[in-house]
Amino acid sequence: MTSPSRSFTADRIESRGPAAGDVIAQIEATRPTRVSEILAEARRAQTEWAEIPLRIRCKFVRCLGEVIYRRRAELAELVSREVGKPIVESQFADLVVTLESGRYLTRIAGPELAPRRVPHSNPAVRAKSGWLLHEPYGVIGIIAPWNFPLAIPMAQIIPAVLAGNGVVLKPSPFSAGVGAAIGTLFSEAGFPPKLVQVVQGGGEVGSALIDARPDKMIFTGSVETGRKVAEACARLLIPCVLELGGKDAMIVLADADLDVASSAAVWAAFSNCGQACVSAERVYAERSIAVEFAALCAEKAARLRLGSGRDANIEIGPMIQPTQIERVEEQLRDAVARGAQIITGGRRRADAGPGFFEPTVITGVNHTMRVMREETFGPVLAIQEVASAEEAVRLANDSEFGLAASVWTANSARGRVIAAQLRAGAVMVNDVASYFGIAEAPHGGRGWSGWGKTHSRIGLLEMVQVKYVDVDRLPRWPKPWWYGYSAALSAAADSFIAWMYAPTWLERWRNVRGALGAVFRRGRV
């Protein structure tokens, strides 16, 4: 497979920046036949790692945080050069999300992963003491996309290793250089060799990783690849988390601050050149403010500066590959043919470079158009007028996707009510997308946006298997439900059921004696 900005063969990945086409990294591709051996090495390292006390594992992760902090400028620059995003976005999205994930998870891992007492409410089992243990899975396979090449895998690897797992990461071949850098971060932080391994290549290496039978898979990427990953995991009965595409809706009510909401809309639609799973792709604006809101968005979009992400003043970088631009153009052509109007943008910007496309605002859209139904994953903000908040909610929910959404209103209470009505994994009121950087906030979608969660304590718990351990405090007492069945035991069982579950206290009370017959029964085997 080749593209003007990237090439990779069975042996080698040549990573080139999408803005200037300069070579970022020459990386040796992993032969798919090597992957199971690499996974076995990670498994060996993991067995020792899991024996290390959690507080020591936390120290390793803090040390990792220090390494990342020291190398932050180099890492931000590498991300920007390799995937083309503005340096400020590499800092805020990739670095902050990574550092915050380590900071937060090392704080909560102790209490979250400690054995937890399970009190029993049923008197028949009061003599038992129950515990929940959180055990690592073993080796977690992580397949990552290119668009947040540091933040996404790191916010998954950190909880995985904290919980005592080993990891085999397969980054996207479009961000192979950042993937290789991730490997070096763990070795510099002193993690045991082979505990966190990076395999490099395209889909064939990804599918070899699943075939090597990791104990769990965390996949982040497109719906199309997600289906293949889910099928491969199902065949081998490997549990998986799927973080897939989005078509996030933004609802702008008439009472919203339009200046703030329009700034938010252009940022959420165009940052990373619209190539974010939580990009705002569909806006539903109430009729009385829709025209003014669209005009503000268009005016702000037209002012954004295009160029190489390495220049700190640049706001819009290039798209990752030409096929992505073609997808955007096809959706725009389809929308215009069905009556939509492009009010700003809509063209390639060859003067800036081959991967550049203008930030585009389009109005007069409706749900017959592909731009409102398919993930665009490019710099397009589509604005549809609606008659009411109810219509906005109905349209927002009329989607196969369900990743995130936002509601804009001066009335936060009303915003919360609407948030509850939206079918999405996360809804922000008067902000957009930034929950991805809140370490306490779970991330994960519904429908075609996937299943399972990353980030937050819930994402940490995805990395452990819960084991229930039960210790009997009366080990010399045979249990009433064991063999030696008889009519008397059946009658006693019925009394027990009535004592526990009868709707009236009188009926319950009447059955106490009979129920005790089950406890102190004769004729056990």
Catalytic positions, please?
A: 243, 277
Is the C-alpha dihedral spanning 295, 297, 300, 306 positive or negative?
Answer: negative
Q: State which residue, 26 or 288, has the beta carbon closest to ligand NAD.
A: 26
Nearer to ligand NAD, 21 or 203 (CB): 203
Please, are residues 12 and 26 in contact by the beta-carbon 8 Å criterion?
yes
In the complex with ligand NAD, the residue whose CB is nearer, 13 or 258, is 13
Please say which residue, 146 or 496, places its beta carbon nearer to ligand NAD.
Answer: 146
Q: What is the DSSP letter of 114?
A: S
CB of 208 to ligand NAD, least distance (A): 9
Least separation in angstroms between residue 381's CB and ligand NAD is 16
Please, what is the minimum distance in Å from the beta carbon of residue 69 to ligand NAD?
Answer: 24
Name the residue nearer to ligand NAD (CB basis): 57 or 81.
81
What is the Cα–Cα distance from 211 to 235, expressed in whole angstroms? Answer: 10
φ, ψ of residue 518 to 5 degrees: the values are -70, -40
Q: Are 197 and 157 in contact (CB under 8 A)?
A: no
Q: What token pair was written down for 283?
A: 């806006």
The nearer residue to ligand NAD, 375 or 462, going by C-beta atoms, is 375
- Residue tagged 């003067």 (tokens): 351
Cα gap 326→322, rounded to integer Å:
6
Beta strand pairing call for 248-252 and 280-286: parallel
Structure tokens at 342: 């492009």
Residue in 103, 218, 238 with CA at minimum distance from that of residue 167:
218
In the numeric block, which tokens belong to residue 269? 């639609």
Place of tokens 């690897």: 157
| CA gap 300, 259 in Å, rounded | 10
CB of 396 to ligand NAD, least distance (A): 17
Report the C-alpha gap between 23 and 507 in whole angstroms: 81
In the complex, least distance from residue 375 CB atom to ligand NAD, rounded to whole angstroms: 6
Please state the closest distance from residue 14 (CB atom) to ligand NAD, in A. Answer: 15
Cβ atoms < 10 Å from Cβ of 234? 11
Give the phi and the psi of residue 467 in degrees, each rounded to 5: -115, 135
Q: What residues contact residue 28 under an 8 Å CB cut-off, 6+ apart?
A: 11, 12, 13, 200
* Distance in angstroms (rounded) separating the CA atoms of residues 41 and 31: 16
- Smallest distance, Å, CB 203 to ligand NAD? 3
CB of 121 to ligand NAD, least distance (A): 38
What is the contact surface with ligand NAD in residues (CB under 6 A)? 143-147, 152, 170, 172-173, 202-203, 206-207, 220-222, 225, 228-229, 243-246, 277, 375, 377, 403, 445, 450
Q: d(Cα 321, Cα 172) in Å, to the nearest integer?
A: 13
Please say whether the beta carbons of 58 and 110 come within 8 A: yes
State which residue, 149 or 364, has the beta carbon closest to ligand NAD. Answer: 149
**DSSP three-state, residue 160:** helix
Q: At what angle do helices 287-302 and 258-270 cross, to 10 degrees?
A: 50
| C-beta of 327 vs 338, nearer to ligand NAD | 327
CA distance 448 to 446: 6
Chain residue at closest Cβ approach to ligand NAD: 206
